[in-house]
Amino acid sequence: MPEPAPELSGRISGGPGRLLHDEVLAPQFRFESRYLLRHYVAIEKTLAAEYVRMDLITPEEAHRIAARLDSVGPDTLSARPDANMSDIAFALERHVEAGLDRPVVRWHADRSRNDLQACAQVMYGRDQLARFATALLELGTVVHRLAEETCDLPMPGYTHFQAAQVITPGFYLSALSEHLLHTHDRLLRTYDGIDACPLGAGAMAGQELPWDRDRMARLLGFARPQPNALTAVASRRWSAELTAELSLLGTALSRFTTDLLTWGGSEYGFIELPDELSGISSAMPQKKNYPVLERIRGRTAHLTAFHFDVLLGQRNTPFCNLVEVSKEAGTHLLNAFDSAHGTVRLLTEVLRRLTFRADRMRAVCAREFLGGFSLANALTLTEGVPWRTAQVVAGKYVVLAAAAGAAPAPGEPALLAEAAAGHGITLAEPARLLAEAFDVDRGLERMVSAGSARPAAVRTALHDQREALARIGADWEGRAAAIRAGAEDNDRALYPADPTTHGEEDGDGARTHVQRTH
């Protein structure tokens, strides 16, 4: 029979009951073992390095502690109500103690689980954000490439669900690209905003030993320590901020996906997806459906729901360390990131494989009177017709031409002259006005302002967006490099003699070698 585990507290006489263990603690333990354990290990190693700096433990003792910490894997620890109260921090402490040939008396002095857990959680959230940013960068690259390929293809643009003006897929996609870049900027600012280390805050009011919080933050890859100790352990604002950004992005992606769904319908037929991204109807053999787009749009709704869950889990709670906030309110944070990641991956593959049908798009541009705005402009600028009167004349011409079954181009000059005559206006060259106003390609070239649908303007915007994508990629890499550098500095402090391996004494005093991973 194993010896009873040493007591963890004198305040209560036993571990948690079976129901509490099964329903709450064991699931939490499994989650943290899988997703947060490496962060707990990194934090414990940082604390060990601080004990050495404060001359509370020896370098050799820190080396032995770190060796035991580095031997931990996802299957090393188990939730045991009798031995570790089914708590990951206690389990890690027990694991280290069990492998030491002699106790390290001052290890864990002046410590609290509150800042330890808060630190591991924000490191986890930071990692999830960086992982998602990688997927979002890939989506941005695919969107940008497709935009470059299609900035010369005329297609109808819509306002109020009606065909309005000539644009191109490249112009439309450059808007999506712009939105993704804006999201990246917001995510980077969010990352920088949460990049503050809670470690050293203690339970809520600070600690009694002179911990170097700046150094601990740097070793864990943070930009700075969280200034206020209470904020460090009480606030989970960062989880609400992360899910808020995912919710905002999901709302935008749902709108872009709605357009793709519309364009893929048989009444439009502007886009085509390969069979492997398509579906069928079991009853109607003529149909080729695109349920993947419905999945994408449907998943974006979850992102808002997960954000609300975080908010509702925190509201009406006191501002202190609280399991309700630190654990329950963040229950679905991983689900939020997984859902966002999957949504972005699906949309990336759709846009990577999507083709635009130039014939169908041009046919609608030629069929609709999309040059009405240009005709009104020309009436004012070349014929001297007051602007509002020009609008009325252009509108009346469209009504007359449609009733007569006339196509927008080349148009019916006599009908335009008739519409103008009704306002006492004699036009010099009605045929030229119609030829220029309703020419599909001229409809693009006329847009000379910056940011317009004119292909040259779209190419300029895409050039700038390409540079922005490169900058953002470098920004994310810089933040990842800070985390790697901190881990390397921490290892150098704990293993000054050997930067790649370390020795660990087993129960017989023999030395084994373990490869460290980060």
Burial of 454: CB neighbours in 10 Å, binned 0-12, 13-18, 19+ = buried
Q: Is 297 left (phi over 0), alpha (psi -120 to 50) or beta?
A: alpha
Spell out the domain ranges in the chain: 18-109, 114-358+454-492, 369-446
Query: Cα(259)–Cα(249) distance, rounded to whole angstroms?
Result: 16
Q: Check: CATH 1.10.150.120 for 114-358+454-492?
A: no
Structure tokens at 6: 């040493």
* CATH of span 369-446: 1.10.40
Q: Would the pTM of this model clear 0.95, i.e. be above it?
A: no
Which one-letter amino acid corresponds to residue 261? L
Query: Helix H segments across 54-161?
Result: 59-70, 88-99, 113-149
Strand partners, 505: 511
The phi-psi region of residue 337 (left if phi > 0; otherwise alpha if psi is between -120 and 50; otherwise beta) is: alpha
The position carrying tokens 């335009």 is 416
For 410, which DSSP code? S
pLDDT per residue of the chain (518 residues) written in tens, 0 to 9: 344 455 666 566 677 889 988 898 898 989 899 999 999 999 999 999 999 999 999 999 999 999 999 999 888 998 988 888 888 999 999 999 999 999 999 999 999 999 999 999 999 999 999 999 999 999 999 999 999 999 999 999 999 999 999 999 999 999 999 999 999 999 999 999 999 999 999 999 999 999 999 999 999 999 999 999 999 999 999 999 999 999 999 999 999 999 999 999 999 999 999 989 878 777 887 778 889 999 999 999 999 999 999 999 999 999 999 899 998 889 999 999 999 999 999 999 999 999 999 999 999 999 999 999 999 999 999 999 999 999 999 999 999 999 999 999 999 999 999 999 999 999 999 999 999 999 999 999 999 999 999 999 999 999 999 999 999 999 999 999 999 999 999 999 998 765 444 444 443 333 333 334 33
d(C-alpha 334, C-alpha 311), whole Å? 15
